[in-house]
């Protein structure tokens, strides 16, 4: 576990605050957006106060400094995910943009009628709708991996779907509802044996689990800054260099061109080809700082702390009368995400009453309508934990659930 949890929590100023109703904040919504440590907040201020300028455009000292800072962040992200080249790290606005970039640039260029893309029903809409749209445009076919009763991907069914027609397999590293940790290495190997590419939506997994894109044979990886303790409005697309070099641009304008003439334009080399316009400069630099923070803390400590919290949360939640948790019950197969319902309680009512006790959770379909339809429920309540949470936070959640059950006359 983390060596000094109290010191870690002190790194996150927002965790020290009380809410307007006087209740201390218990933040259990890191799956939607994680909080930021002080070093990230300070880095954002530093950029704006000391050397903000545009990048890759000027020879003045500010422009040189800010360009160096942003490219340094790119290189640290490259090392963090185990990529071979910094040019394989493309800055985007987030996971959604990263997936759309590949779905549109690759899909429109390479997909043809009858080609197949493999998805599954646990995917976030961001890893569902872009493929759905490009498949409809190109006449491609979507195939869906079946889920087991406990919310895992059925790998035998996955293997049966793979064929010479399969062009892309896209899967979440960790379900944002079920917490399911998917076996991406094995799935990537099987996809490549069939001649397909393999895309990982790492929005939920990258902040909590180590990733090495080369060792795992991942062709494309997407993740968001705001879920890994960095700013919003910044994300990453990793793509193997050979693949990115053969993709047409997705957006057009400044920075992504090498030449512009009246009758034609030529595209810049990587990564600029996919970074049209002025980028989210400060956000990219601060994302590098967030990556440094996670690296210094270490995934051994992160995983141990979150495993401890998951074990405690699972035990406490399962003891609540009429509460159903969705997803695997084996801790080795899930992350620290717990979506649940209580019989007789509407998820919005339950989340509202939890908020009155200072507990921040999410309710709704969590951008996974197909999954909720599969589960035959309209919505759920989700508590998503992080290494900065404590067992006392979970105790507060259980006490708040008991309060809600009494108010809803379920106890």
Query: Which positions are catalytic?
Result: 367
CA distance 175 to 173: 7
Collapsing DSSP states into helix, strand and coil, what is residue 97? helix
CA distance 202 to 263: 40
As given in the structure block, the two tokens for residue 235 are: 């994300």
Q: For residue 244, give the H/E element and its range.
A: helix 241-244
- CA distances to 238, 348, 380 from 233, rounded to whole Å, are 17, 27, 27
Q: What count of Cα atoms within 13 Å lies in the side-chain half-sphere of residue 161?
A: 25
- CA distances to 227, 296, 380 from 325, rounded to whole Å, are 23, 33, 9
The DSSP bridge pattern shows strands 257-260 and 265-267 to be antiparallel
As given in the structure block, the two tokens for residue 156 are: 């035998």
Strand partners, 221: 200, 238
What is the crossing angle of helices 281-297 and 61-81, to 10°?
A: 40
Q: Are 197 and 219 in contact (CB under 8 A)?
A: yes
- CA distances to 96, 270, 314, 399 from 104, rounded to whole Å, are 12, 18, 40, 47
* Residue 152 CB burial class (10 angstroms; 0-12, 13-18, ≥19): buried
Rg of the chain over all Cα atoms, to the nearest angstrom: 22
* Residue 394 CB burial class (10 angstroms; 0-12, 13-18, ≥19): buried
CA distance 357 to 395: 12
The torsion angles phi and psi of 209, rounded to 5 degrees, stand at -130, 140
């Amino acid at each position: 576990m983390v060596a000094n949890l109290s010191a870690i929590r002190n790194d996150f100023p927002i965790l020290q605050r009380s809410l307007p109703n006087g209740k201390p904040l218990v933040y259990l919504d890191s799956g939607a957006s994680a909080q930021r440590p002080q070093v990230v907040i300070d880095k954002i201020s530093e950029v704006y106060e000391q050397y903000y300028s545009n990048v890759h455009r000027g020879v003045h000292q500010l422009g040189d400094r800010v360009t160096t800072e942003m490219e340094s962040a790119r290189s640290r992200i490259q090392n963090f995910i185990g990529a071979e080249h910094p040019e394989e790290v493309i800055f985007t606005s987030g996971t959604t943009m990263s997936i759309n970039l590949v779905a549109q640039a690759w899909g429109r260029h390479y997909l043809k009628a009858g080609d197949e893309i493999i998805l599954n029903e646990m995917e976030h809409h961001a890893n569902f709708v872009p493929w759905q749209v490009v498949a409809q445009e190109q006449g491609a076919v979507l195939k869906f991996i079946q889920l087991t009763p406990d919310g895992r991907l059925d790998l035998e069914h996955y293997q049966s779907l793979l064929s010479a027609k399969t062009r892309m397999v896209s899967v979440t590293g960790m379900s944002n509802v079920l917490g399911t940790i998917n076996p991406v290495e094995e799935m990537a190997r099987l996809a490549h044996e069939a001649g397909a590419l393999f895309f990982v939506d790492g929005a939920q997994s990258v902040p909590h689990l180590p990733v090495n894109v080369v060792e795992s044979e991942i062709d494309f990886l997407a993740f968001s800054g705001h879920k890994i303790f960095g700013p919003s409005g910044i994300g990453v697309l990793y793509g193997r260099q050979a693949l990115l070099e053969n993709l047409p641009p997705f957006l057009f304008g400044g920075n992504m061109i090498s030449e512009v003439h009246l009758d034609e334009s030529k595209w810049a080399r990587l990564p600029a080809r996919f970074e049209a316009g002025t980028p989210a400069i400060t956000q990219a630099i601060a994302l590098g700082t967030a990556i440094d923070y996670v690296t210094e803390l270490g995934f051994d400590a992160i995983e141990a702390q979150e495993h401890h919290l998951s074990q405690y949360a699972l035990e406490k939640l399962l003891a609540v009368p009429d509460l159903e948790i969705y997803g695997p019950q084996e801790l080795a197969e899930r992350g620290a995400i717990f979506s649940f319902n209580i019989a007789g309680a509407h998820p919005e009512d339950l989340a509202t009453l939890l908020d009155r006790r200072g507990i921040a959770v999410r309710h709704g379909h969590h951008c996974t309508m197909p999954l909720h339809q599969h589960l035959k429920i309209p919505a759920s309540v989700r508590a998503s934990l992080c290494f900065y949470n404590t067992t006392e936070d979970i105790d507060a959640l259980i006490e708040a659930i008991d309060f809600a059950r009494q108010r809803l006359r379920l106890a």
